[in-house]
Amino acid sequence: MKNILLAAACLLSLHCAQSSAQQAPADITDEQRSALKSKSDAGNLAPELLLSAEDMRWWRDAKLGIFIHWGLYAIPAKGEWHMSNDKVDPGEYAKLAARFKPRHFDANSWATLAKDAGARYMVMTARHHDGFAMFDSKSSYRNFDSVHSAAHKDFIADYVAAVRRQGMRVGIYYSPMDWRFPGYFDPKGLPENAALMKAQGYGQVRELMSNYGKIDILWYDGGWLAHRGTDADAAWFWRPEILNAEVRKLQPKVAINPRSGWQGDFATEEGDQPIAGPIRQKPWEKTFSIGAGWGYVPGDAMKPEKVIRLVVDAVVRNGNALVNMSPDADGDIPQTQVQTLQAVGAWMRVNGEGIYATRPGPFQPVDGVYGATTRGKNIYVHVLSWPADSLKLPALPGKIVSARTLAGAPVRFSQSGDGIVVSVDAAARDPVDTVIKLETASDPAAAL
């Protein structure tokens, strides 16, 4: 099912300006339909709200974040779209709150795991499309928040404190749309009910941006209406330029994603399909889940090799990776996910020098073969596969003075006006990415 979604998303992204749900194949689910919509953004709306390059530097340096999808949907364990997919009546769904009492919730263990995986920031669902707030929310329609659940707890408060304690940046995910409101499905026919949903959205964003200290990332999701049109198409209703102007007053430096219908400080790409093509101009973020769903669904975790490959393929193209893990109803991260993230962390400890605080270039990536990052006089060539015993790279003006892999193995190299040829003993190659550090006599200058 994930594959159908991805195939459909890729197909429609080619025509994203014109694409809309009406043109989507008729036999896809609402979840797939909604995914297609985010492919468009709101163009040039409110450019004055954009952060400066200087204010986005930490984000571009950070490269790896850990995402958490956690809410009432962890109890039925059918994913965060359960309420919509299985047509659960909102009144029935609300009963889950009385059962929400995670016995092992410990935000510190989550933040420690993320830190050990090599993450520099985290993003957690403060409220998903089901409407249940994981924080103390006075603006919540009908007190549908975690303080009024069996847990009687503000989970976002604990999460923010734990992430800060690990020295990471703090991100908050928030979905303006809420399936509990009939006005969401028919905003023109039920304008008063839709207005209640909008007021809740503005109120909750204000709470999240006011009550938890400095917030570094605001990760919107679902500035849509009625499972139809694009985020931008729904901007007449949500008025994201007004909402985000308020956000900027409360959190002047928060990095905002594009899914409120406003263009955003960075672009997003969703799903675990391979990343290809040249270096992208606007800073962007690949996001995918290592679990069977975004929210907890029993099943195997993604293999660490695949996670590393997606991280590297994003970074050599000017991107970050936001990797989702899914705590279960007790607040435990499934062991298979823990193992994957720890293996990613072990790789990052050896190879992070060629990832963190780098910029893409000076070579354009060659899909499936290599990509490059640079910082100061160093170039890091990420070799993903060896077409032959050696690899040929484009010519460089600066002279290479030394070469070795980040794992410490020797690298043979030759340099001429024609290009550079490097080779590493087969036994010293990394199965996912052999990172070769080339030290040059002069700054090679990043591509961006």
DSSP label at residue 51: P
> What stretches of 326-418 adopt beta strand conformation (E)?
359-360, 370-375, 378-383, 390-393, 400-405, 412-416
Write out the H or E segment, with its range, that includes residue 219. strand 217-220
* Minimum distance of ligand JFZ from residue 417's CB (angstroms): 44
- Give the one residue of 9, 72, 151, 297 binding ligand JFZ; rule: CB under 6 A: 9
Entry field: residues in the chain: 448
435, amino acid identity: V
Nearer to ligand JFZ, 38 or 415 (CB): 38
Long-range contact set of residues 366-372: C-beta below 8 Å, sequence gap at least 24: 367/276, 367/277, 371/312, 371/313, 371/315, 371/316, 371/317, 372/316
Residue span binding ligand JFZ (CB under 6 A) among the ranges 30-38, 155-163, 312-320, 360-368: 30-38
Residues from 51 through 110 that contact ligand JFZ (CB under 6 A): 69, 80-81
Residue span binding ligand JFZ (CB under 6 A) among the ranges 33-41, 203-211, 226-234, 426-434: 33-41
- Give the one residue of 12, 24, 35, 197 binding ligand JFZ; rule: CB under 6 A: 35
Residue 130 binding ligand JFZ, by CB under 6 A: no
Nearer to ligand JFZ, 80 or 154 (CB): 80
Residues from 241 through 270 that contact ligand JFZ (CB under 6 A): 270
**Interaction mask 287-326, ligand JFZ, x per CB under 6 A:** x------x--------------------------------
Write out the H or E segment, with its range, that includes residue 428. none
Q: Evaluate whether 88 touches 131 at the Cβ level (below 8 Å).
A: no
Residues from 346 through 405 that contact ligand JFZ (CB under 6 A): none
Closest of 234, 237, 243, 223 to residue 194, by C-alpha: 237
- Give the one residue of 21, 33, 39, 264 binding ligand JFZ; rule: CB under 6 A: 39
Residues from 171 through 230 that contact ligand JFZ (CB under 6 A): 221
Locate 231 and state its tokens: 């985020």
Residue 413 and residue 164: Cα distance in Å, rounded?
43
Among all residues, whose Cβ is closest to ligand JFZ? Answer: 35
* Minimum distance of ligand JFZ from residue 238's CB (angstroms): 16
Residue span binding ligand JFZ (CB under 6 A) among the ranges 31-39, 94-102, 237-245, 247-255: 31-39
CA distances from 245 to 230, 235, 265, 343 (A): 21, 14, 13, 41
> In the complex, which residues of this chain contact ligand JFZ (CB under 6 A)?
9, 34-35, 38-39, 69, 80-81, 221, 270-271, 287, 294
